Structure 1
Amino acid sequence: MKNENTEQPVFLFGKRNYTFMIIGLMVIALGFIFMAGGGSDDPEFFNEEIYNWQRIRLAPTLVILGLGIEIYAILANPKK
Protein backbone atom coordinates (compact mmCIF):
# COMPACT_ATOMS: atom_id res chain seq x y z
CA MET A 1 0.00 0.00 0.00
CA LYS A 2 1.17 3.47 -0.79
CA ASN A 3 1.15 6.09 1.88
CA GLU A 4 -0.84 9.06 0.59
CA ASN A 5 0.75 11.43 3.10
CA THR A 6 4.20 11.35 1.50
CA GLU A 7 5.46 14.81 0.66
CA GLN A 8 7.36 15.75 -2.44
CA PRO A 9 10.88 17.02 -1.79
CA VAL A 10 11.02 20.80 -1.75
CA PHE A 11 14.09 22.36 -3.33
CA LEU A 12 15.57 25.49 -1.86
CA PHE A 13 16.06 27.13 -5.27
CA GLY A 14 13.99 27.08 -8.41
CA LYS A 15 15.05 26.23 -11.95
CA ARG A 16 15.69 29.91 -12.67
CA ASN A 17 18.10 30.16 -9.71
CA TYR A 18 20.06 27.10 -10.81
CA THR A 19 20.27 28.45 -14.35
CA PHE A 20 21.80 31.70 -13.10
CA MET A 21 24.18 29.76 -10.85
CA ILE A 22 25.48 27.74 -13.80
CA ILE A 23 25.87 30.91 -15.89
CA GLY A 24 27.75 32.58 -13.03
CA LEU A 25 30.09 29.61 -12.64
CA MET A 26 30.82 29.62 -16.37
CA VAL A 27 31.62 33.36 -16.31
CA ILE A 28 33.96 32.86 -13.32
CA ALA A 29 35.66 29.91 -15.06
CA LEU A 30 36.08 31.99 -18.22
CA GLY A 31 37.71 34.74 -16.16
CA PHE A 32 40.20 32.29 -14.67
CA ILE A 33 40.94 30.85 -18.12
CA PHE A 34 41.71 34.35 -19.41
CA MET A 35 43.94 34.95 -16.40
CA ALA A 36 46.06 31.84 -17.05
CA GLY A 37 49.27 31.75 -19.03
CA GLY A 38 51.64 34.48 -20.08
CA GLY A 39 54.61 33.13 -18.19
CA SER A 40 57.95 32.15 -19.60
CA ASP A 41 59.67 28.77 -19.38
CA ASP A 42 63.08 30.43 -19.51
CA PRO A 43 63.89 32.33 -16.28
CA GLU A 44 66.29 34.58 -18.22
CA PHE A 45 63.56 35.84 -20.53
CA PHE A 46 60.74 38.14 -19.35
CA ASN A 47 57.52 37.85 -21.29
CA GLU A 48 55.63 41.15 -21.60
CA GLU A 49 52.42 39.28 -22.45
CA ILE A 50 51.75 38.85 -18.73
CA TYR A 51 50.71 42.52 -18.65
CA ASN A 52 48.27 42.57 -21.56
CA TRP A 53 44.72 43.94 -21.12
CA GLN A 54 43.18 40.46 -21.10
CA ARG A 55 44.95 39.43 -17.88
CA ILE A 56 44.90 42.83 -16.17
CA ARG A 57 41.41 44.15 -16.97
CA LEU A 58 39.17 41.59 -18.64
CA ALA A 59 39.80 38.50 -16.47
CA PRO A 60 39.27 40.16 -13.05
CA THR A 61 36.19 41.95 -14.39
CA LEU A 62 34.72 38.62 -15.53
CA VAL A 63 35.40 37.01 -12.15
CA ILE A 64 33.74 39.88 -10.28
CA LEU A 65 30.81 39.85 -12.72
CA GLY A 66 30.43 36.10 -12.20
CA LEU A 67 30.39 36.56 -8.44
CA GLY A 68 27.68 39.20 -8.85
CA ILE A 69 25.63 36.76 -10.93
CA GLU A 70 26.07 34.12 -8.21
CA ILE A 71 24.86 36.53 -5.53
CA TYR A 72 21.85 37.40 -7.67
CA ALA A 73 21.12 33.69 -8.23
CA ILE A 74 21.14 33.03 -4.49
CA LEU A 75 19.04 36.05 -3.55
CA ALA A 76 16.51 35.85 -6.40
CA ASN A 77 13.06 34.74 -5.37
CA PRO A 78 12.17 31.49 -7.15
CA LYS A 79 8.96 31.86 -9.12
CA LYS A 80 6.24 29.59 -7.85
Structure 2
Amino acid sequence: MGEKKRKEESKPTFVFGNKNYKFMFIGLAIIALGFILMSGGGSDDPNVFNPEIFNWRRIRLAPMLVLIGFGFEIYAILLNPDKE
Protein backbone atom coordinates (compact mmCIF):
# COMPACT_ATOMS: atom_id res chain seq x y z
CA MET A 1 0.00 0.00 0.00
CA GLY A 2 2.78 2.47 0.89
CA GLU A 3 4.75 1.66 -2.27
CA LYS A 4 1.73 2.35 -4.49
CA LYS A 5 1.20 5.73 -2.82
CA ARG A 6 4.88 6.61 -3.27
CA LYS A 7 4.70 5.81 -7.00
CA GLU A 8 1.63 8.05 -7.40
CA GLU A 9 3.41 10.94 -5.66
CA SER A 10 6.54 10.64 -7.82
CA LYS A 11 4.82 11.04 -11.18
CA PRO A 12 7.01 12.98 -13.63
CA THR A 13 5.86 16.54 -14.21
CA PHE A 14 6.99 19.22 -16.63
CA VAL A 15 8.90 22.20 -15.30
CA PHE A 16 6.86 24.66 -17.36
CA GLY A 17 3.17 24.84 -18.17
CA ASN A 18 1.46 25.22 -21.54
CA LYS A 19 1.43 29.00 -21.19
CA ASN A 20 5.20 29.03 -20.73
CA TYR A 21 5.79 26.91 -23.81
CA LYS A 22 3.50 29.11 -25.93
CA PHE A 23 5.49 32.21 -24.99
CA MET A 24 8.76 30.33 -25.62
CA PHE A 25 7.69 29.36 -29.14
CA ILE A 26 6.52 32.93 -29.84
CA GLY A 27 9.90 34.24 -28.67
CA LEU A 28 11.74 31.65 -30.76
CA ALA A 29 9.73 32.63 -33.86
CA ILE A 30 10.50 36.32 -33.30
CA ILE A 31 14.22 35.57 -32.90
CA ALA A 32 14.22 33.46 -36.07
CA LEU A 33 12.43 36.25 -37.97
CA GLY A 34 15.06 38.72 -36.79
CA PHE A 35 17.90 36.55 -38.02
CA ILE A 36 16.15 35.98 -41.35
CA LEU A 37 15.75 39.74 -41.80
CA MET A 38 19.46 40.20 -41.05
CA SER A 39 20.57 37.83 -43.80
CA GLY A 40 21.42 38.72 -47.37
CA GLY A 41 22.66 41.94 -48.87
CA GLY A 42 26.00 40.58 -49.94
CA SER A 43 27.57 40.89 -53.34
CA ASP A 44 28.31 38.03 -55.72
CA ASP A 45 31.56 39.69 -56.75
CA PRO A 46 33.94 40.26 -53.79
CA ASN A 47 35.50 43.27 -55.57
CA VAL A 48 32.17 45.15 -55.72
CA PHE A 49 30.78 46.85 -52.60
CA ASN A 50 27.03 46.61 -52.07
CA PRO A 51 25.70 49.36 -49.76
CA GLU A 52 22.50 47.33 -49.30
CA ILE A 53 24.05 45.72 -46.18
CA PHE A 54 23.65 49.02 -44.32
CA ASN A 55 19.92 49.51 -44.88
CA TRP A 56 17.40 50.16 -42.09
CA ARG A 57 16.05 46.62 -42.02
CA ARG A 58 19.43 45.00 -41.27
CA ILE A 59 20.80 47.67 -38.93
CA ARG A 60 17.74 48.62 -36.86
CA LEU A 61 14.75 46.32 -37.33
CA ALA A 62 16.35 42.86 -37.24
CA PRO A 63 18.47 43.36 -34.08
CA MET A 64 15.47 44.91 -32.32
CA LEU A 65 13.35 41.86 -33.19
CA VAL A 66 16.05 39.56 -31.83
CA LEU A 67 16.17 41.50 -28.54
CA ILE A 68 12.36 41.49 -28.27
CA GLY A 69 12.41 37.72 -28.86
CA PHE A 70 14.94 37.26 -26.06
CA GLY A 71 12.66 39.38 -23.86
CA PHE A 72 9.80 36.98 -24.64
CA GLU A 73 12.03 34.05 -23.71
CA ILE A 74 12.95 35.59 -20.35
CA TYR A 75 9.29 36.36 -19.66
CA ALA A 76 8.33 32.77 -20.56
CA ILE A 77 10.90 31.36 -18.15
CA LEU A 78 9.88 33.64 -15.28
CA LEU A 79 6.11 33.26 -15.86
CA ASN A 80 4.31 31.36 -13.13
CA PRO A 81 2.06 28.80 -14.91
CA ASP A 82 -0.09 28.14 -11.81
CA LYS A 83 -1.12 31.76 -11.34
CA GLU A 84 -4.38 32.70 -13.06
Would you call these one fold, judging by a TM-score over 0.5?
yes
Q: Distance in 2 between matches of 1:42 and 1:59?
A: 25
Aligned twin of 1:20: 23
TM-score, with normalisation over the residues of structure 2? 0.85
Structure 1 portions without partners, runs of 5+: none
Q: Distance in 2 between matches of 1:23 and 1:4?
A: 40
Offset of residue 17 of structure 1: 0.1
Aligned twin of 2:35: 32
1:47-66 correspondence runs (5 A): 47-66=50-69
Structure 2 portions without partners, runs of 5+: none
Cα deviation, 1:51-72, whole Å, max 9, x if unaligned, reads 1100000000000000000000
TM-score, with normalisation over the residues of structure 1? 0.89
Larger fraction in helix: 2
Give the superposed CA RMSD. Answer: 1.4
| Rg comparison, structure with higher value | 2
Offset of residue 4 of structure 1: 4.5
Structure 2 residue identity aligned to 1:18: Y
- Count of aligned positions: 78
Identity of aligned residues (%): 65
